[in-house]
Amino acid sequence: MAVLAENANTSLMAEAQETINRYVEPGLGKERSVQTYNETCDKYDEYTGAFEYCGPAYAAKVMRDLYPDKIQRSRVRILDVAAGTGLVGAEMKKLGFKNMDALDPSKGMMDIARGRGCYNKLYIDFIGEYDLNISGDTYDAIVMSGGMGENMIPVSAFIEMTRIVKPGGFIVNVTRIEHLENCKDYVGNLEPMLDKLQEAGRWTEVDRISFPNFLRGKEGIALIHKVL
């Protein structure tokens, strides 16, 4: 039985790796990437579990530290960007966050997120190309885990994030360091955008924290900004 279990786990790992590679295939484009997420959404949690994906738990921990008061935590209005199947929302719910909405372009993923019962509103949309159907200064914070990489959130999305978060609110972005260093859309573009928003008085960097095992063996980073 142990051999069968080991073989099954190896097979799942291979399947998960193949699927994750499809999500971030260079040149695939956002529309086809979303199609892939829709096609594989039923196994997404299983795939990320196989790689011990701890990004959502780390993002929730950062949010908890930003909002240490439990009463405030239950009231602040949060938008989970690139929410996927709602893994971040599930972790934040454990910590007492109750007023959360979610945004993701994949309907299949969002259908699963809806079933978790963590979110009030769900927006099936991209971010970064146009103003969302969300009023300015709506949210106390944005949280995001795993939203950056090939075919994923563009650097222009941070402009929109600063529009819909209230002054004094936070934007927490948790991702793999290698995506920031290797993705062609971010190299030479991401850091200048972060700096541009700071110079324009839209936000200020609070912290950037490196941590091990965003996924098993993959270093993560949390970028924390405060909207001005």
* Residue 6 shares a structural domain with residue 23: yes
CA distances from 132 to 10, 64, 68 (A): 41, 27, 30
- Asked which of 28, 50, 72 is the last residue of a domain, the reply is 50
CA distances from 111 to 42, 56, 143 (A): 10, 18, 19
- The encoded tokens of residue 83 equal 């929410």
90-118 tens-digit pLDDT: 999 999 999 999 999 999 999 999 999 99
Question: For the chain, how many structural domains are there in total?
Answer: 2
* Residue 99 shares a structural domain with residue 10: no
CA distances from 156 to 15, 27, 129, 185, 225 (A): 32, 18, 7, 11, 15
* Residue 115 shares a structural domain with residue 190: yes
DSSP code of 164? H
* CATH assignment of the domain containing 160: 3.40.50.150
120-144 tens-digit pLDDT: 999 999 999 999 999 999 999 999 9
Task: Provide the pLDDT for residue 199.
Answer: 98
Task: Collect contacts of 210-217 with beta carbons under 8 A, ≥24 apart.
Answer: 210/177, 211/58, 213/52, 213/54, 214/53, 214/54, 214/55, 214/58, 214/174, 214/175, 214/176, 214/177, 215/48, 215/51, 215/52, 215/53, 215/54, 215/55, 215/176, 216/51, 216/52
Phi, psi of 74 (to 5 degrees): -75, -15
Residue 24's pLDDT band, with cuts at 50, 70 and 90, is: confident
**Angle at the Cα of 120 (from 118 to 124), degrees rounded to 5?**
95
> Is the pTM higher than 0.85?
yes
Give me the domain span that covers residue 216.
Answer: 55-227
**Residue 97 to residue 64: CA distance in whole angstroms:** 9
* Residue 89 shares a structural domain with residue 164: yes
DSSP code of 85? T
- Report yes or no: 95 and 58 within 8 Å, Cβ to Cβ: no
**Residue 216 to residue 20: CA distance in whole angstroms:** 14
* Residue 18 shares a structural domain with residue 111: no
* Residue 189 shares a structural domain with residue 90: yes
* Residue 39 shares a structural domain with residue 85: no
- Asked which of 14, 30, 50 is the last residue of a domain, the reply is 50
* Residue 81 shares a structural domain with residue 112: yes
- Asked which of 32, 50, 68 is the last residue of a domain, the reply is 50
* Residue 90 shares a structural domain with residue 16: no
pLDDT, the chain, mean: 93
pLDDT at 4 over 70: no
Task: Provide the pLDDT for residue 142.
Answer: 99
* Residue 102 shares a structural domain with residue 31: no
Cα Rg of the chain, angstroms: 17
* Residue 66 shares a structural domain with residue 142: yes
* Residue 176 shares a structural domain with residue 219: yes
